[in-house]
Structure 1
Amino acid sequence: MLILNADSSSWFLVFATNNQQRRTVNDELNDGGLDNVLRKLLNVLYVTSPEAYLGKEGETVLILLNDEVKLRIPIHNLEGIVCFGYTGASPALMHLCAERGVALSFLAESGKFLARVSGRVNGNVLLRRRQYRQADSPEEALQLAKGFILGKIFNCRCVLQRFLRDHEQRGDPPMVQEGVKALTIQLQKTANSRHLDMLRGVEGEGARVYYGVFDHLILEVKDIFTFTGRSRRPPLDAVNALLSFLYTLLAHDCTAALETVGLDPQVGFLHRERPGRPSLALDLMEELRPYLVDRFVVSLINTRQIGATGFVTKESGGVLMTDEVRKNVITAWQKRKQEEVMHPFLGEKIPVGLIPYAQALLLARHLRGDLEAYPPFLMK
């Protein structure tokens, strides 16, 4: 059962579950659930050159430039392939990726999603039928959507609280403290939401509060990395360019994770369904964005891991990363995914890159009836 408790200073989440449920989930993680995924968490191949062409030779992926093979990598070493620009791929490679369950995605240079190649739907048909029935039930969908948004607002608040602990004498602590207080109120409103539209309004207000103080978390190179609010399609500043780019990579990982456990990434509980929209992947992303992306972007900027000159402003006003910055960000992103973190619900250390898979598996266990409530990932 999902419970929201309060004390005099803050709201916090408690997930009541019995030890048998926890053991069952941990056993699945260790005995084939995430263990199979862990073997796949070797590489996501990012192809950043628009002149590249992807081909196939037996069980090997080829990267060609001007008809010359530049890279060979066995398909079993890959979790996914993400191509930026107008990279081409042979039908034979698309078939191989679909057959081996390797996600093949095509993105514009800005990070905007273009297309994705996927194979046959895998997983238990009874699980997917349960997913569809629960998505069609406003009451049941609301309970799951609350979990995603409680996790999101809780983690947004943790991002601000951690900044206050680490940088007490820098930035604008009073403004950030006001953001923490406002997000605490939004947590209570989330728990009290009676229907999905009300919950979506609470989520929107929480995002407005959070992004309203996000600029205060950025301490370095403020003449370039200034954040005045969230902007998309196109991003209008360097910070938004980083956020949008990494949110797209996270969406790719969440989609692959949901498909791995047998869920349909198109059918969500919070985000409305649209043709071609991975609504459930977007649902799952909500709780993960503050921890996996937002903190990462702030760290990249404040530790000067990316250069201030690596962004280009187009005539439309949109801001894009240069190839060099994009490669540096991808390298740091992949390195971050290899780090280990203690999962707050499972009580075990897992690689950061497996968090979307762990959450997808917990969601599937809840839909099967093995967990009373879905436990979102909560930052410590």
Structure 2
Amino acid sequence: MKPLQNILYITKPGAYLSKERETIHIRLEEGPDVKIPIHGISGIVCFGTVGMSPWLMGFCAERNVAVTFLTDTGRFLARVHGPMHGNVLLRRAQYRTADVADQSGTLAAAFVTGKLYNCRQALLRCIRDHGETPALRETEKLLSDRIRTLTSVEDCDTARGMEGDAARAYFSAFPDLIRKSDPAFAFSGRNRRPPKDAVNALLSLFYTLLVHDVRSALETVGLDSAVGFLHKDRPGRPSLALDMMEELRPVFCDRLTVSLINREQVRASDFLTNPDSGAVTLEDEARKRVLAAWQKMKQETLTHPFTDEKIAKGLIPFIQARLLARHLRGDLDGYPPFLWR
């Protein structure tokens, strides 16, 4: 089993990272320098005006440590990684499957099934803990109906349409998951680029972090993260990472967003609004707390529903990537999405 390693998040403006022997040397504009051994790091995520030496980039590439650069608000800028690993025959099988309509459609339906099942589980947990509302029960029934229909779907466009309809219904019921009555956490639907409220700011940040982890997992097993099944190919878009991310959003991102708000681990004062663009972002200290909560959440243990292994939650993307690779090689009849229990 692959060990769960840490992601290094750099949030200090003006920080500069360089290589010093087997360590990452972090120089800060204010405060002491920090040195971190690279052997326990699986990725580096830099927010805002963070610099990095080319020697460290090359060192990270050699060690299979992906480096991602984001804006202050968490929007993706660039990614640096080394050569793709794995067997070229696996990637050829991936490309062939993507070009066969019914095979591609079946995989697209599997990703959507995982997403809708896990969205439904999020609603059921809320109903169990806090009681049902008309919106929660109606959306839960809709998701159940869509999940049953997806068992016979072999068309990508049909799967996409069902995913879109179900996602709109799910986010219409999302406010009922938030028990905090503070108007600062009012949610009237998904918005992004930039997010215009505190809930969307948290969701967008976590979705960006999840894409980083899923993309790294896919490339670790040798798959091409740019060639997907549910999401159409587009230059610069990690379509396969976005495919697999769909089933994991409710488990990783949506649940943590709701928990942070309901437990008052984030407050209205933790968010800043840009008067020109209306973009809502986390202030620096709050972002550190939120990133720490993200890392802690990934350390939680659970039993994987397909492999029956007890694992850290952060390893789910790697196990799902391995299962997808096994399916594409012909070792599994179908791809088993992660179904949250």
- TM category, shorter: over 0.9
Q: Find 1:112's aligned residue among 61, 75, 92.
A: 75
Match of residue 180 from structure 1: 140
Map 1:1-380 → 2, pairs under 5 A: 35=1, 37-38=2-3, 41-66=4-29, 70-168=33-131, 173-314=133-274, 315-380=276-341
| Alignment-mate amino acid for residue 285 of structure 1 | M
Q: 1:343 offset after TM fit, Å?
A: 0.5
CA distance in 2, matches of 1:98, 1:75: 12
Gaps of 5+ in 1: 1-34
Task: Tell whether the 8 Å contact from 1:221 to 1:308 is kept in structure 2 after alignment.
Answer: no
Task: Tell whether the 8 Å contact from 1:254 to 1:284 is kept in structure 2 after alignment.
Answer: yes
CA distance in 2, matches of 1:164, 1:68: 47
TM-score, with length taken from structure 1? 0.87
| Alignment-mate amino acid for residue 196 of structure 2 | L
CA distance in 2, matches of 1:68, 1:324: 15
How many residue pairs get aligned? The number is 340
TM-score, with length taken from structure 2? 0.97
- The 1:367–1:238 alpha-carbon spacing in structure 2 relative to 1, beyond 3 Å, is same
SS at structure 2 position matched to 1:341: strand
CA distance in 1, matches of 2:308, 2:235: 38
Task: Tell whether the 8 Å contact from 1:215 to 1:226 is kept in structure 2 after alignment.
Answer: yes
CA distance in 1, matches of 2:85, 2:264: 43
Task: Tell whether the 8 Å contact from 2:106 to 2:155 is kept in structure 1 after alignment.
Answer: no
Identical columns (%): 56
| Alignment-mate amino acid for residue 336 of structure 1 | M
Task: Tell whether the 8 Å contact from 1:62 to 1:69 is kept in structure 2 after alignment.
Answer: no
Q: 1:304 offset after TM fit, Å?
A: 0.8
SS at structure 2 position matched to 1:266: coil
CA distance in 2, matches of 1:106, 1:116: 6
CA distance in 2, matches of 1:206, 1:160: 13
Deviations 1:142-176 (A, max 9, x none): 111111000000110110011000111xxx62221
Q: 1:90 offset after TM fit, Å?
A: 0.4
Task: Tell whether the 8 Å contact from 2:7 to 2:45 is kept in structure 1 after alignment.
Answer: yes
Ranges of 4+ aligned residues in structure 1 off by more than 4 Å? none
Match of residue 25 from structure 1: none
